[in-house]
Amino acid sequence: MGGAAAGIAVLIGLWLTWQVGWGILLLGAVGLVGGYGYTGEPINYKARGLGVPCVFWLMGILMVAGAYYAVAGEWKYTVMLEAIPVSVLSALLLLSNEIRDIDVDEQQGMQTLTVRWGLQCSLGLYYGLLLICYVTSVLMWYWGKLLTVYWLVVPLLLLPGLLTLLKKELKDRYQLPPKTGLFFLVFGVAYSLALY
């Protein structure tokens, strides 16, 4: 199934390369290597504790900037800046999975970032990424990249539920990834509305 999806992505990428230019081919190659390298050997950056930072770049900045490039046919550094909150949330979603699975990953010898750093540091990173998400959004508004920050109040309503989950025992945190995903969805919609 994954091979078929990759094959379809390659065909779409070749068509986009023909339409937009060679930059899309480079983006596609980086995306394919990055997607394979998440768990594929010899790279396997998940097992090396690099999953969270790689997802920040691959599923955040690279994906958003690549989509913009595919549509507009040009690179803009401002698009990469505007992608930072979404990139942070992509990393946060993976981190929530790692926090939930820390015991299993440790038993299987999987050296994820959370296993390497330990639970307390990973929880601190989770809090920090939530904060960075909002700080960068306010900075985007200050620099004139967001029309308003009012929309970003809506996702704040979900934070008490997330913060409560983080304080529970590890076995009771099974809802952390779906709740983080819901926060990502609501924040993403609110952020998009704030952009335009």
Selected residue with higher pLDDT from 172 and 86: 86
pLDDT per position as a tens digit, 112-169 = 999 999 999 999 999 999 999 999 999 999 999 899 999 999 999 999 999 898 888 8
- Residue 123 in domain: yes
Task: Tell me which residue range forms the domain holding 139.
Answer: 81-195
Q: What is the pLDDT of residue 116?
A: 97
Q: What is the pLDDT of residue 74?
A: 86
Sign of CA dihedral 139, 145, 150, 154: negative
- Residue 172 in domain: yes
Number of separate domains in the chain: 1
- Residue 39 in domain: no
pTM (two decimals): 0.89
Selected residue with higher pLDDT from 5 and 184: 184
Give the single-character DSSP code of 142.
H
- Residue 25 in domain: no
Where would I find the H helices in the chain? 2-20, 22-37, 51-55, 62-72, 77-82, 84-100, 102-107, 113-117, 119-142, 153-156, 159-166, 176-195
